[in-house]
Amino acid sequence: MEIERGAGKIAKCLKLMLNNKPGHLAKVTAAIAQLNASIGDIHLVRFGRTHNTREIVVYVDSDQQFEDVVDVIASLEGIVVEDVIDLVHQLHEGGKIATKSKVRIETITDVRQIYTPGVAAICTDIEKNPELAYKYTSIPNSVAIVTNGSAILGLGNIGAVAGMPVMEGKAVLFDYLVGVSGVPILIENSDPKIIIETVRNIAPTFGAIKLEDIKAPECFEIEDVLDNELDIPVLHDDQHGTAVVVLAALLNATRFSGLMLSKSVVGVIGLGAAGMGISKLLLSYGVKKVIGTDLNEDACERLVAAGGEAETLDDVMKKAHVVIATTGCSGLISPAMVRKGSVILALTNPKPEIEPEVAMGAGASFAADGKSVNNALAFPGLFCGALNVRATRINNKMKIAAAQCIARYAEENELVPSLLHPDVHREVTAVVERAALESGVVKHWD
């Protein structure tokens, strides 16, 4: 059953008993439409002599709107509201992931081979030659998804355990899209040194480390230290996964607008994890001038150290041909601030810094919000490609190759392809493998 339609919509399911007479279902759908709600799947649960039971998915903008829908339907003659099902909560019951065996156990001989005493021979082999762990264990296809819950999905510092459903979701995408095992690791601590030490100690279990939803500026130190110390890829997805998809979107947006990205002045508003990741990747791609602004002076200094320039908000809007906003502050950009002919990506969800249609009406040549810029387009292929060739890191060449690949798979007039495009993740994996080999970050490649 479908559970999502568009960013920001709430999906609920109504279980209704309807009189088996013509027009009753039509009355329900008309009532839903009159309250500006949308209808998803309609499923016939039971069909009796006098009544039938149906489950109807309804999409609303708020809980109050849904309550209004329920009240109106309940007042209709010949219709009984049997139950209200929250599809999102239902889907998450019991968690979304589990550890499953890849081998079958049918006899005691199977047990003796999988476990003791047979496994001792494999352990001894690995003791003599640690490289065999990459042949005989799950290590090379496993990624630790590490969070302390300090910057969860725009919800802020809600703690690691509250962030677990997000980490499980990432693990589901890893498995479904590229067949990689993602393992959530929750660290209830805000001290970068504790997080670094914890990851350092668990690193032998995994082929790569994915840092997730750790707030700035701590995320920069954590990633830098671990990336330098470990001989497996370490990537903070909020910085680099987002940056890859934004670069892909910009490659298409500037093409639609007749701009050349590398020769454009790019302005970044908000220099947290995403803003800094985007700025660094754009500079590496070859953008000649990146200007940025943030309320935090230290953030501006980090941009300057990376090769960008710090400006005021007004100056960014006046000077930049391309504006990327990652502030978390909806409505920050007014129509009067929009430079004629500029490209604007206002990425704050669910409500952007400026609505795309408002930006276009104010003179932007192209504008979009963050609904389609989903970093899940990037991280599965980035990690899978790196794991496949045993890369020691995920470098900018690999990220740029991924972005260019994602951009190529966008349908006509789209910034980026669908997350569930049948080919994009396989192709991203392939170009990342090639970029890793070409850039010399592959270890023990035969």
CB 321 within 8 A of CB 342: yes
Matching fold, domains 10-92 and 142-232: no
- Looking at residue 9, the DSSP 8-state letter turns out to be P
12, 59, 170, 280: the catalytic one is: 170
Give the per-residue pLDDT at 373: 85
Give the 3-state secondary structure of residue 240. helix
How far is the CA of 350 from the CAs of 209, 296, 389, in angstroms?
28, 23, 37
CB 287 within 8 A of CB 264: yes
CATH number given to 10-92: 3.30.70.260
The stretch 109-127 carries a mean pLDDT of 96
Cβ neighbors of 309 (< 8 A, separation 6 or more) are 289, 290, 291, 292, 303
Question: In angstroms, what is the C-alpha Rg of the chain?
Answer: 25
Give the per-residue pLDDT at 156: 92
SS3 content of the chain, % helix, strand, coil (to 5): 45, 20, 35
Could you give the CA distance from residue 355 to residue 358 in angstroms, rounded to a whole number? Answer: 5
Give the per-residue pLDDT at 33: 95
Could you give the CA distance from residue 214 to residue 211 in angstroms, rounded to a whole number? Answer: 7
Give the per-residue pLDDT at 8: 60
Could you give the CA distance from residue 343 to residue 287 in angstroms, rounded to a whole number? Answer: 15
How far is the CA of 333 from the CAs of 35, 347, 410, in angstroms?
31, 12, 27
The answer on pLDDT for 3 being more than 50 is no
Give the per-residue pLDDT at 444: 58
The stretch 344-357 carries a mean pLDDT of 93
Give the per-residue pLDDT at 2: 33
Could you give the CA distance from residue 327 to residue 338 in angstroms, rounded to a whole number? Answer: 17
The answer on pLDDT for 446 being more than 70 is no
Residue type, 429: T
The stretch 36-63 carries a mean pLDDT of 93
**DSSP secondary structure string, 101-156?**
-SS---SHHHHHHHSTTTHHHHHHHHHH-GGGHHHHSSGGGEEEEEE-SSSBTTTB
Out of 146-155, 241-250, 408-417, the most confident range is: 241-250
Strand partners, 343: 322, 366
Give the per-residue pLDDT at 153: 81
CATH fold of 142-232 reads Rossmann fold (3.40.50)
Nearest to 296 by CA among 280, 277, 276: 276
Strand partners, 420: none
CATH number given to 239-446: 3.40.50.720
**DSSP secondary structure string, 279-345?**
HHHHHHHT-SEEEEE-S-HHHHHHHHHHT-EE--HHHHHHH-SEEEE--S-TT-S-GGGPPTT-EEE
Work out the number of other CB atoms within 10 angstroms of the CB of residue 225: 18
pLDDT band at 445 (very low <50, low <70, confident <90, very high): very low
66-105 b/e (C-beta count within 10 Å ≥ 16 → b): bebbeebbeebeebebeeeeebeeeeeeeeebeeeeeeee
Examine the residue annotation and report whether 318 is marked as an active-site residue of this protein.
no
Strand partners, 79: 18
pLDDT band at 309 (very low <50, low <70, confident <90, very high): very high
CB 16 within 8 A of CB 73: yes
Side-chain half-sphere CA neighbours of 30 within 13 A? 6
- Judged by average pLDDT, the poorest of 99-103, 141-145, 318-322 is 99-103
The answer on pLDDT for 6 being more than 90 is no
Examine the residue annotation and report whether 102 is marked as an active-site residue of this protein.
no
Q: Any idea where the domains of the chain sit in the sequence? A: 10-92, 99-137, 142-232, 239-446
Nearest to 205 by CA among 183, 174, 228: 183
The answer on pLDDT for 102 being more than 60 is yes
Nearest to 234 by CA among 145, 323, 299: 145
**Tokens describing residue 130:** 């640690």
Q: Is the CA virtual torsion 301, 306, 307, 309 positive or negative?
A: negative
- Residues found in the chain: 446
Q: Is the peptide bond before 117 cis (omega within 30 degrees of 0)?
A: yes
CB 151 within 8 A of CB 211: no
Strand partners, 267: 291, 323
The stretch 303-328 carries a mean pLDDT of 97
The answer on pLDDT for 263 being more than 90 is yes
Percent of the chain beyond pLDDT 70? 98
